[in-house]
A and B are shown apart, each in its own frame.
Chain A
Amino acid sequence: MSDNAAAPAVDGALAEVVQSYLNAAANEMKATLVRTAFNPVIYEVLDFGISIYDARLDLVAEAPGLTFFLGANDYSVRKVAEYLGRESLEPGDVVLSNYPYWNGAHTYDATLLAPVFEPGNDELFAVLCIRAHWMDLGAKDPGYVLDSTDMHQEGVVFPGTKVFRRGEVNEEILDLIRFNSRMPDLVIGDLNAQVSALRTGERRLRELLKKFGRGLLEGAIAAIHEHGEEVTQSALAALPKGSWTAEDIIDDDGISDEPVKMQATVTITDSTFEVDFAGSASATRGPVNMPFGSTIAMCKVVFKALTSPERPSNAGQMRALHVKAEPGTLFHAAYPAPTFTLWTGIVGLELIHKALAKAMPERMTASSGGDVPGFMMLGTHPDTGQMFAISNNDPVGWGAAHDHDGSNALIHLSESIVRNTPLEVLEAKTTMLMERMEMRCDSGGAGQFRGGLGIHRDIRFQTDGEFLTVMKKTKSAPWALAGGLESEPITAIMFPGTPREQRVSTHRTPVAAGDRVTLKTAGGGGYGPPASRSRDKVREDLAEGYVSAEAARDIYGLADDDG
């Protein structure tokens, strides 16, 4: 079918039309993946990232998904092309990669990519990429691995392996996956879903080639990249210029109890934005090391939020970003460093914010709780006799800004679109009984603008089992800004009020029926001196129960005749 709807030359309208079609192609890939995936984490929590690249491997479109996944795809596609050699990519190929140091994630976040060619033309036109969380690839422990000491304890690894070659599936590779997974059906099912989604994208791109012709498409893509660069440069121009350094710690590496130091220096010039992790700890023994692709992805999230938060993503927007970390250090894991627990990226994201807040406190916020406090219970359900392993991520208080209070009880900003697990679902699927789940009075860092409130959760176990806490920031308080006060860090207390009472961070604890645990998630840091908070707002907080009478008097200086 010939179609002359294409405009005759590349202009701002054609570029926008092409961008719409490319984004639609990415969204159709997403719809296909969600529709065909086996693993509920993919089709219900949307734990994936889908990206489309041009022949130069520059990002042209993506579907909404986990920001960390999306950012890491860019790095992975280049590394795989480098490893295989771009000329070895052929029509119908599908390549699997999960080698952490190239793929930019832990071994269970597997990337599949497919090259796209115009029929009858061997010159690569585009590359499609889908990253999704796979349930099991044979790591040393089922579920989450908290204490691996090298990559080989973290599952079977594929560096860039053709699962399909010229459209033909390689059954031997599938067998290798099957025989190395505890949940082969789910994993193979998800692999097939990813392939279906890649095929959907391939069809759409070929239709676009037919509709517009390669020349116009490439012209439009160049215009999209230029636009991205221009938008970013003008946003960059409005940022202060200079260099700022921040430090923080994560609790431990999962093996020892020693805190691990992180440091980031952000340098902004007229045309570049650089993040350098020099000064951070060297590689740790436990699995908190970050693959470099994952570090870059984390920086992209911050940079995009500052410069083009509402625009569809493309490589042009990222041209000004430069990320540095020495290989063999915390933020640039080198073989065979373990990388399974990705929590470093969550704390690290706010580390960059902390450095930026020194440069422009009015554009940033104080710390938003510092972490995603997660927990999981494993046990046997008395109704079914079946094993269960159910997890939940709790909300924290977000940091205050120069013009507003931090929001109460939201999932941490590193994955803010994720939802908590309803209490009625948790209680039905596990044997936990929630005795309390409420906002924590006085948990928001005080200030002229108050940090948001964290939550308090009391759980009683009704059967024996194991309780996993996954939190890496219980030893240091969320930071404040401009004279505001810090908030209390995340606290997890096993067996409170008993002789066995114990504070934990990331930990696997056996529990018995009748045992209890108290989880208190952090509030956000405050902004500005508490004494300058408007008296009306202090009274409002008091009336709402966000602040106690004591805190109103002692911290905010609310006199009796004020209230």
Chain B
Amino acid sequence: MSRDQEIRLAVDIGGTFVDAVELDMATGAARFEKASTTPQGPWEGVMNALARLRDDLSAASVFTHGTTLGLNAILERKGALTGIITNKGFRDIFLIGRGNVPDAHMYDFRYERPEPLVKRRRIAGVTCRLDYKGRELEPLAEDEVREAARMLVEEQGIETIAIAYLFSFRDPRHEQRTAEIVREMYPDVKVSVSSDITREQREYERTSTTVLDAYIRPIFERYIDRLETELRERAFAGRFNIMRSGGGAMTAGAAKLSPTQTVLSGPAGGVVGGAFIAEVLKRPDLVTFDVGGTSLDVCVIEQTVPQITHEAELENHPLLVPCYDIRTIGAGGGSIASMDAGLLKVGPRSAGAEPGPICYGRGGTEPTVTDAAVLLGFVDPERFLGGRMPLDAAAAEKGIEANIGAALGLAAIEAAARIYDVMLARTVGAVRQLTVERGRDPGDFSLLGFGGAGPLIAPLVAREMGLRETIVPLLPSGFSAWGMLGADIVNDFAQTDLSVLSDVAPEALDERFRGMEDDARTSLQAQGIGEQDALTERQLELRYLGQEHGLTLPVGRPLDIDAITEAFGVAHESRYGHRMDSPVQILNVRVRGIGRTRRPTVSEAAPAEAAQAAAPRAQRDAYCFARRALTSFAAYDRGHLPAGSRIAGPALVDEGTSVTVIHSDQALEVNAFGHLVITRSGEGARHER
């Protein structure tokens, strides 16, 4: 198949809907479909959504999938029966953790630890010990390993075993030998080894990562196997990729071996897409603003690079796997509005997908942000999801009237506007903090609004924050899926080092990097990446001696220790406002292997088309936050807005699954790629007075 005929598919599973996107790489034309999420058998929703795009999948070269399956297994405690083998004398590392109570419970003196994922009787200690340099203090007692394995498998009936020893990031041999023994004895038991998954310091975090891997592995494998079968039945013969949580994708085969890499991949597609838009539009500093039915996720992109965290948390279990630093700052359209002793609260409770907002008519009785949107005229109840799901506006109005309006002494529409005020104030504060954390002025960023309700809310947030612009991409509802289409194949490798940078011989460090680069290339090769498309990036995670956390910097070849030290000083100053005199220490050596994927084409419209003036389809009454009154908005169909169109607010731009709202002090321009760009207008400002 020639590259010009390439068709790519991507599917993203959300809490409410499954989004599927098809891209014709030759023309850049994308199609988007939705199906309901099917929690009982998640693959069904995936195949339903794909079926809406095309019956026969034989033309597709790549299918990329973002799934929250691993995450859900942990949330719902549906993972495998897992055992742990660790050092004798240190059996409770997993159960003690860091001893802390989650911040949200800081005043809760009755706090109860949740049931652990692994019971204590399924944790065995065996004799062996390394010191902090990896020197063997006690050899591995192999007979104890055999006894531990026998106990876990035969007495406890476990399905998977996590192996994690102290300081194994220094020398994995004890762990590897333990795994070998277990596999010999019980070939059917799945084994997760900490040194295979992460070579980073901190025993609890490493153990937790290994346990999560063991816990979700069987359910994840079954899911992938099932999807592979289903795809084959539809004649799919291309590459099946799974999104990773921290950038890029991996082949389904590789994902089965390393499922923890995928657990937070749900919202990752939107961030990959955001970075792509940042590059194409030359808007290097961007905040992605992804609002779905059940969550509002935000990620900061600086200089076209999304922020990454090397330590995520799942239900208070640390996970030492690189993840996009995506912050959930609200509960999206499902956030419930309620009165609390005279104060109007929005969230943190959410109506979720079930029962959902009142207007869904599925039994929801408490008003939500989505109900307010219906009342404010932003969402056309007849055209929601392209008319597939008519909304009950009258019920929404009644609910807001009774629950909020009556208490505030306001008409339902004003009460709905207040729900928005409260939701916005909270959202603005949270977004601003993210940029301030990075030492940046929020005004430097553009906002990229997507997800079903992103285009509705993002322009209001930008308006409140004084941001330069809001960008609404094509197919905003399916943008996360669209972003997956351009994901590279990526593998991350990390090893904790702890040497002082100035003492390091560049040759030794170079050798270490080369070893890891070999691993990265081997892994890419195993995933079918040709040598010409494979590249590796070197990174060092550095800190001043005495600090706990590090900053990750790219490093070039050949290694120049002075240049690295200087670059770290610059980075520390930019992030923390100062440099220090202390020596610089290498916390982790990191290598990222990247298998280049051809980027999706984005077609640029010919300038000639720009002249055309767009005509509104209709006028619709909606609430203008600039005028704070119900106002007649010009309603446009997005499909009929050519590139170059300029429209002054108040205006609504409808597309099947979402609506962009431009208030009277804002203006819209459709750029050459078809994105909607909303800015504050001088004309609008005059309206206000």
Residue ranges of A at the interface with B (Cβ–Cβ < 8 Å) = 1-2, 4-5, 7, 11-21, 23-24, 27-28, 31-32, 34-38, 40, 43-44, 64, 67, 185, 189, 193, 196, 200, 223-224, 226-227, 230-231, 234, 301, 304-305, 309-310, 353, 364-365, 368, 384, 393-395, 398, 401, 404, 407-411, 413, 416-420, 422-425, 427-428, 433-439, 455, 458, 543-546
By the criterion CB–CB under 8 Å, are A427 and B96 in contact? no
Beta-carbon nearest neighbor of B434 in chain A = A31
Q: Which residues of the other chain, B, contact A543 by a CB distance below 8 angstroms?
A: 121
- B131 at the A interface (CB under 8 A): yes
Beyond contacts A17-B422, A455-B96: 16 other A-B pairs, Cβ-Cβ < 8 A, are: A1-B466, A16-B345, A21-B429, A24-B428, A28-B433, A35-B439, A35-B575, A36-B576, A407-B113, A416-B100, A422-B202, A423-B90, A424-B132, A424-B203, A425-B548, A546-B120
- B257 at the A interface (CB under 8 A): no
A189 and B580 alpha carbons, distance in the complex (Å)? 10
- B581 at the A interface (CB under 8 A): yes
Beta-carbon nearest neighbor of A28 in chain B = B436
The 8 closest A-B pairs by CB, nearest first: A24-B429, A13-B418, A395-B99, A36-B577, A20-B425, A419-B98, A309-B107, A416-B101
A44 and B408 alpha carbons, distance in the complex (Å)? 43
Known: A36-B577, A410-B101, A427-B132. A44 touches B548 (CB 8 A): yes
By the criterion CB–CB under 8 Å, are A64 and B103 in contact? yes
Report B82 CB to chain A, min CB distance, Å: 15
By the criterion CB–CB under 8 Å, are A35 and B342 in contact? no
Beta-carbon nearest neighbor of A544 in chain B = B120
Mask of B118-130 contacts with A, CB within 8 angstroms, 1/0: 0111000000000
- B388 at the A interface (CB under 8 A): no
Q: Which residues of the other chain, A, contact B626 by a CB distance below 8 angstroms?
A: 4
Mask of B82-115 contacts with A, CB within 8 angstroms, 1/0: 0000000111110110111111011111111100
Partner of A417 from the list B100, B345, B346 (CB cut-off 8 Å) is B100
By the criterion CB–CB under 8 Å, are B548 and A40 in contact? yes
Report A158 CB to chain B, min CB distance, Å: 23
25 contacts between A and B (CB under 8 A): A12-B342, A12-B343, A13-B344, A20-B422, A24-B425, A64-B106, A223-B343, A224-B343, A230-B341, A394-B99, A404-B110, A409-B95, A411-B101, A413-B101, A416-B106, A417-B101, A419-B100, A420-B99, A420-B100, A422-B203, A427-B132, A434-B90, A437-B96, A439-B95, A455-B92
- B464 at the A interface (CB under 8 A): yes
Report B687 CB to chain A, min CB distance, Å: 10
Known: A67-B106, A417-B103. A16 touches B343 (CB 8 A): yes
A410 and B112 alpha carbons, distance in the complex (Å)? 10
By the criterion CB–CB under 8 Å, are B132 and A428 in contact? yes
Q: Which residues of the other chain, B, contact A434 by a CB distance below 8 angstroms?
A: 90
- B689 at the A interface (CB under 8 A): yes
Mask of B390-433 contacts with A, CB within 8 angstroms, 1/0: 00000000000000000111100000001101100110111011
A13 and B372 alpha carbons, distance in the complex (Å)? 14
Q: Which residues of the other chain, A, contact B101 by a CB distance below 8 angstroms?
A: 410-411, 413, 416-417
Report A64 CB to chain B, min CB distance, Å: 6
By the criterion CB–CB under 8 Å, are B120 and A545 in contact? yes
Beta-carbon nearest neighbor of B576 in chain A = A35
Report B89 CB to chain A, min CB distance, Å: 4
A11 and B407 alpha carbons, distance in the complex (Å)? 10
A218 and B119 alpha carbons, distance in the complex (Å)? 54
A15 and B577 alpha carbons, distance in the complex (Å)? 35
Q: Which residues of the other chain, B, contact A18 by a CB distance below 8 angstroms?
A: 425
A34 and B92 alpha carbons, distance in the complex (Å)? 32
By the criterion CB–CB under 8 Å, are B436 and A32 in contact? yes
A301 and B202 alpha carbons, distance in the complex (Å)? 32
Q: Which residues of the other chain, B, contact A223 by a CB distance below 8 angstroms?
A: 342-343
Beta-carbon nearest neighbor of A207 in chain B = B466
Beta-carbon nearest neighbor of B404 in chain A = A13
By the criterion CB–CB under 8 Å, are B109 and A435 in contact? no
Overall SS of chain B's interface:
loop
Report A4 CB to chain B, min CB distance, Å: 6
Partner of A365 from the list B98, B110, B120, B345 (CB cut-off 8 Å) is B110
- B5 at the A interface (CB under 8 A): no
Beta-carbon nearest neighbor of A21 in chain B = B425
- B607 at the A interface (CB under 8 A): no
Beta-carbon nearest neighbor of B547 in chain A = A40
Partner of B580 from the list A15, A35, A38, A438 (CB cut-off 8 Å) is A38
By the criterion CB–CB under 8 Å, are B578 and A36 in contact? yes
By the criterion CB–CB under 8 Å, are B433 and A24 in contact? yes
Mask of B568-594 contacts with A, CB within 8 angstroms, 1/0: 000000011110110000000000000
- B688 at the A interface (CB under 8 A): yes
Q: Which residues of the other chain, A, contact B89 by a CB distance below 8 angstroms?
A: 435-438, 458
A438 and B131 alpha carbons, distance in the complex (Å)? 18
Beta-carbon nearest neighbor of B431 in chain A = A24
By the criterion CB–CB under 8 Å, are A230 and B578 in contact? no
Report A132 CB to chain B, min CB distance, Å: 15
- B546 at the A interface (CB under 8 A): yes
A409 and B98 alpha carbons, distance in the complex (Å)? 9
Known: A436-B90, A455-B92. A407 touches B202 (CB 8 A): no
A31 and B577 alpha carbons, distance in the complex (Å)? 12
Mask of B423-458 contacts with A, CB within 8 angstroms, 1/0: 001101110110011110000000000000000000
Partner of A24 from the list B205, B430, B576 (CB cut-off 8 Å) is B430
By the criterion CB–CB under 8 Å, are A200 and B421 in contact? no
Q: Which residues of the other chain, B, contact A435 by a CB distance below 8 angstroms?
A: 89
B residues 202-231 near A (Cβ < 8 Å) are: 202-205
Known: A13-B344, A24-B433, A404-B112. A422 touches B107 (CB 8 A): no
Partner of B344 from the list A12, A64, A393, A438 (CB cut-off 8 Å) is A12
By the criterion CB–CB under 8 Å, are B341 and A234 in contact? yes
A76 and B422 alpha carbons, distance in the complex (Å)? 32
By the criterion CB–CB under 8 Å, are A413 and B109 in contact? yes
Q: Which residues of the other chain, A, contact B92 by a CB distance below 8 angstroms?
A: 409, 437-439, 455
A16 and B344 alpha carbons, distance in the complex (Å)? 6
Known: A185-B581, A304-B107. A423 touches B166 (CB 8 A): yes
By the criterion CB–CB under 8 Å, are A189 and B202 in contact? no
Partner of B343 from the list A15, A27, A301, A407 (CB cut-off 8 Å) is A15
A35 and B434 alpha carbons, distance in the complex (Å)? 12
Report A527 CB to chain B, min CB distance, Å: 11
Q: Which residues of the other chain, A, contact B384 by a CB distance below 8 angstroms?
A: none
A413 and B548 alpha carbons, distance in the complex (Å)? 24
A408 and B95 alpha carbons, distance in the complex (Å)? 8
Report A255 CB to chain B, min CB distance, Å: 31
Beta-carbon nearest neighbor of A423 in chain B = B203
Q: Which residues of the other chain, A, contact B96 by a CB distance below 8 angstroms?
A: 395, 408-409, 420, 437, 439, 455
Q: Which residues of the other chain, B, contact A424 by a CB distance below 8 angstroms?
A: 132, 166-167, 201-203
Partner of B121 from the list A196, A309, A544 (CB cut-off 8 Å) is A544
- B73 at the A interface (CB under 8 A): no
Which has the most chain A C-beta neighbours within 10 Å: B204, B436, B439, B464?
B436
By the criterion CB–CB under 8 Å, are A17 and B421 in contact? yes
By the criterion CB–CB under 8 Å, are B109 and A353 in contact? yes
Q: Which residues of the other chain, A, contact B577 by a CB distance below 8 angstroms?
A: 35-36, 193, 196
By the criterion CB–CB under 8 Å, are B132 and A305 in contact? no
- B526 at the A interface (CB under 8 A): no
Report B398 CB to chain A, min CB distance, Å: 19
Report A13 CB to chain B, min CB distance, Å: 4
A18 and B424 alpha carbons, distance in the complex (Å)? 11
By the criterion CB–CB under 8 Å, are A2 and B689 in contact? yes
- B549 at the A interface (CB under 8 A): yes
Q: Which residues of the other chain, A, contact B425 by a CB distance below 8 angstroms?
A: 16-18, 20-21, 24
Beta-carbon nearest neighbor of B100 in chain A = A419
Mask of B10-32 contacts with A, CB within 8 angstroms, 1/0: 00000000000000000000000
- B308 at the A interface (CB under 8 A): no
By the criterion CB–CB under 8 Å, are A398 and B428 in contact? no
- B59 at the A interface (CB under 8 A): no
By the criterion CB–CB under 8 Å, are B341 and A231 in contact? yes
A226 and B343 alpha carbons, distance in the complex (Å)? 10
Beta-carbon nearest neighbor of A438 in chain B = B92
